[in-house]
Amino acid sequence: MADPNSPNGPNGIYVLPFADIEHIANKHLDMAYASTSEFQKLDLYLPEGEAPIGGWPLLVFVHGGAWMMCDKRDIQLNPPLRLLKEEIAVASINYRLSSEAKFPAQIHDVKTALRCLKARAREFGIAKDRVAIWGASAGAHLAALAGTSAGVSLLEDLSTGWAEEDARVRAVVSWFGPTNFLKMDLHLSQTRAGDPDHNDAQSPESKLLGIPITEARAMVHAANPETWITPDCPPFLFQHAPNDPIVPVQQSILFADLISRTAGPDRAILHLVENAGHAGPEFERDDVVDKSIDFLRDHLLAKA
């Protein structure tokens, strides 16, 4: 895992190498979606040519990094960018990290970015009724939370702008994301894949909330995506390694099962990525990425 104590980015945080975006002609970089923080910016990448009648579908990507590091333009973006060849636009967002603001600021930012993109959809040739979200690790937590908590006032700040739009999404791709903070150590003790240290006062989850998670059960309840599952939640695709040493695989297995029991078995697909860890090159393999691409094609290219 990246070391957050080795800052190398422009904002004094650790960042991974950047994705190759030079070949993408139709792009809009560092668009502000709110004005509270320098991190409230997004990059928008559009397919080649003119937008089709009705606009391009849109995928919004949320980067991982323990809610404390990494960037919207780093190599985590490489798999989602493959959607451009499918005539699907891609936006990648930054959000306030835990060193700057505590939860729920991060999900407020994600939803503000979604509303901004919908409000500006006509300007960029986007179909605002065909928007999905994809996240990796901490970004998958935020993507899943955006998917399940539509309309929850605690997790949306309309004062940040674009209040005339909603932040609902049509589908969610969750790559190895946490979904129940207080069960992560139990799950790691069961898989024995990594050290169970998420309950520590200095864990990424505790830093996100600004208090040890064992002392903030009500806040943890609000932060857990599974809390907000309803019968009309959007379809989810989960991809996770059985031996993930950081976010235990049960986080996806149990969440997918809960969605299936609440919203129907067609709303959750679980794909276990064998011989992989937490992120890593295995998640750039064609057979892995193609499952995400196919899932998003099914839900974004079909008209509502």
Q: Which tokens belong to 49? A: 């040519």
Question: Sorting pLDDT into bands at 50, 70 and 90, what band is 280?
Answer: confident
Q: How many CB atoms neighbour CB 44 within 10 A?
A: 21
**pLDDT tens for each residue of 35-87:** 999 999 999 999 999 999 999 999 999 999 999 999 999 999 999 999 999 99
Backbone φ and ψ for 5, nearest 5 degrees, come out as -90, 10
Q: Which of 195, 170, 177 has its CA nearest to residue 254?
A: 177
**Residue 254 to residues 120, 186, 190, 232, 270, Cα–Cα distance (Å):** 36, 13, 14, 18, 10
**pLDDT tens for each residue of 42-53:** 999 999 999 999
Mean pLDDT in residue range 274-288: 94
Question: Sorting pLDDT into bands at 50, 70 and 90, what band is 5?
Answer: very low
Question: Sorting pLDDT into bands at 50, 70 and 90, what band is 304?
Answer: low
**pLDDT tens for each residue of 143-172:** 999 999 999 999 999 999 999 999 999 999
The domains found in the chain, sorted by start residue, are 27-300 (3.40.50.1820)
Backbone φ and ψ for 59, nearest 5 degrees, come out as -110, 125
Answer yes or no: is pLDDT of 1 > 90.
Answer: no
Non-local (6+) Cβ contacts of 206 within 8 A are 199, 200, 212, 213
Please enumerate, as own/partner, the contacts of 277-282 that have beta carbons within 8 Å and a separation of 24 or more: 277/241, 277/243, 277/244, 277/245, 278/1, 278/137, 278/176, 278/241, 278/244, 278/245, 278/246, 278/247, 279/64, 279/76, 279/136, 279/137, 279/175, 279/176, 282/241
Residue 287 corresponds to which amino acid?
D
Answer yes or no: is pLDDT of 215 > 80.
Answer: yes
> Could you tell me the pTM of the whole model?
0.96
Judged by DSSP in three states, 72 sits in: coil
Q: What is the pLDDT of residue 6?
A: 53
**pLDDT tens for each residue of 251-263:** 999 999 999 999 9
Q: What is the pLDDT of residue 15?
A: 86
